[in-house]
Structure 1
């Protein structure tokens, strides 16, 4: 399935008038809503797009739209592969498409420090992977000071949620391309050289300026070479939410860096 989430917003058909319109001034009729002014966009995914991919796309779009200043966007699935986006108070069609269709930026970054989010200045979606920034975790309570990195999600070939080899718990298996493999080895080698109790032992996985996960590098990794071969495993534990968490992380890793 690879990179198919990209098509979710690449197959935006623009038309005017009628229920079949992909984008129109004023909202398409929707029972129970009394909204005046705004823009509606219908986004179509390819045939066979999985439900979890569509749900993840909706959540990512909602976060991006709200971050742009649009309040209370209405985003909902329609049928098997369509998503209806309603933006109240937005009148500029090009602006609306720019907000929805912006590229999500996924990066793997060295963790330099950890603090309470309330105690530091968060950069958020203005984050630049080539800079050092304080970024919030997805729960909003913790902040990570992350360093620059060239390891972006575009260098990730595969991310799959699986049952752990032990049969207990769940993992996310990663595979990078050749360039990504070299960068990942260097990044994990540097982290492994830090004490196990140090936050610098962690690698931050960052999507659109938010740290969605920050797994530590295992003691079993050789600090001289890091995790080589372009493959790695993120252990997600064995509690009640482990399977769901593994699936959610795998979806973000597979599709987070694509324009959606």
Structure 2
């Protein structure tokens, strides 16, 4: 029994060391995957520009908004702002966040207001523009007639665009017509015959995702509305760094106080809770990497709140444990009963908070969503560490001979 307990504690220690190593150094010399350094920081922590666009048209459809988001994200990528994010905010607004940019007005000027979609021949002459396209969507069919289906993009032109496209294809049989969006060639199919029905297809080595993306970009190029800037703000890099440093210092001090308090009040049980809390923090940081969460100041608040809930769960368990000891149960029986009696209260409390966080994530935007994300992740992990990891550690410590009830916080007057 003692050997089994020692082995259990040893495995838990090894897992803890591995998790800490991953958080500090990550995987890969350059990428540092899963490390703290690999966590994406929001503008309030890293500095940058935030721009809020609004469509100048009422009753914008979901498809149109998705196309606009795809367009702007593509522009951000082509400008080299690979860390920038573009997301829908509300029904008709789009939020663009660009880390590392100090001048929001300059970013707006570089992004521009509307898309420029063109169909060009090999000599660079413009044959059609985005205004001539009525619709574009991803399709899957046997394009080559060889029995193998593949994704492609189907185009539907306007009445005027149909006439232009018929003339363009007639004059360029055997040649390529390039589809250009914002000066970037998206595709350059070869014309096989004159097309007069107003329909066309773009084939190539598409995946379902890339075909959908290209269709979205083409739809975006022919959006019937402009995007107006209604809010822009700059966050200095120094200010963001100061906010991050202050938040981390506050978090470290708070966790240190909690660790000391748990040991002082609950002795061995407190040590087990502290050990589980260290595992919790490492799992939380790794989860932020895995789920690609952008960490913001409200997100840090969500993490700290979930740490408090993890500690609260342990407190409930240990108080139940002490009650069982006072009722005359043996330590082993008291531990089993304490965890069993504490579970309903812990589960109900965490589930209600999880539901509230889910509603915030569903209805919220921006930093509110970031807070909800970290809180939900933290709640799930905290339940695991409090109910499973803490129990494993306490059972292991009991198995190696630490069985005096006083060592588990019991005080008999």
Q: Mark yes or no: TM-score above 0.5.
A: yes
> Which of 104, 108, 111 is equivalent to 1:100?
111
- Asked if 1:89 is matched to 2:102, the reply is yes
**SS at structure 1 position matched to 2:103:** coil
Write the distance in 1 (CA, Å) between the matches of 2:153 and 2:179: 13
**SS at structure 2 position matched to 1:248:** helix
Cα displacement string for residues 159-194 of structure 1 (whole angstroms, at most 9, x for unaligned residues): 1111115661122111111111111111111111x4
Larger Rg over CA atoms:
2
- Asked if 1:253 is matched to 2:263, the reply is no
1:202-241 matches, within 5 Å, as: 202-218=176-192, 221=193, 226-237=194-205, 241=206
Cα displacement string for residues 52-92 of structure 1 (whole angstroms, at most 9, x for unaligned residues): 5365134234146x38xxx777334376764232362216x
Alpha-carbon distance, 1:30 to partner: 3.4
1:1-260 matches, within 5 Å, as: 30=42, 33-35=45-47, 39-43=49-53, 48-49=62-63, 53=67, 56-63=70-77, 66=79, 74-77=84-87, 82-86=94-98, 88-90=101-103, 93=105, 95-111=106-122, 146-165=123-142, 168-192=149-173, 194=174, 201-218=175-192, 221=193, 226-237=194-205, 241-258=206-223, 259-260=226-227
**SS at structure 1 position matched to 2:126:** coil
Point out where structure 1 has 5 or more consecutive residues left out of the alignment. 1-28, 112-145, 195-200
For the Cα contact (< 8 Å) 1:172–1:236, is it kept in 2?
Answer: no
**SS at structure 1 position matched to 2:97:** strand
For the Cα contact (< 8 Å) 2:43–2:49, is it kept in 1?
Answer: no
Write the distance in 2 (CA, Å) between the matches of 1:243 and 1:72: 23
CA RMSD of aligned residues (A): 3.3
TM-score (norm 2): 0.37
For the Cα contact (< 8 Å) 1:203–1:217, is it kept in 2?
Answer: yes
**SS at structure 2 position matched to 1:232:** strand
Cα displacement string for residues 10-58 of structure 1 (whole angstroms, at most 9, x for unaligned residues): xxxxxxxxxxxxxxxxxxx9377333xx642123575735895365134
Cα displacement string for residues 200-240 of structure 1 (whole angstroms, at most 9, x for unaligned residues): x111001111111001112xx2xxxx110211122235xxx
Residues 54 and 178 of structure 1, relative CA distance in 2, 3 Å threshold: closer
**SS at structure 1 position matched to 2:98:** strand
Write the distance in 2 (CA, Å) between the matches of 1:83 and 1:245: 23
Which has a greater percent of strand? 1
For the Cα contact (< 8 Å) 2:128–2:161, is it kept in 1?
Answer: yes
**SS at structure 2 position matched to 1:236:** coil
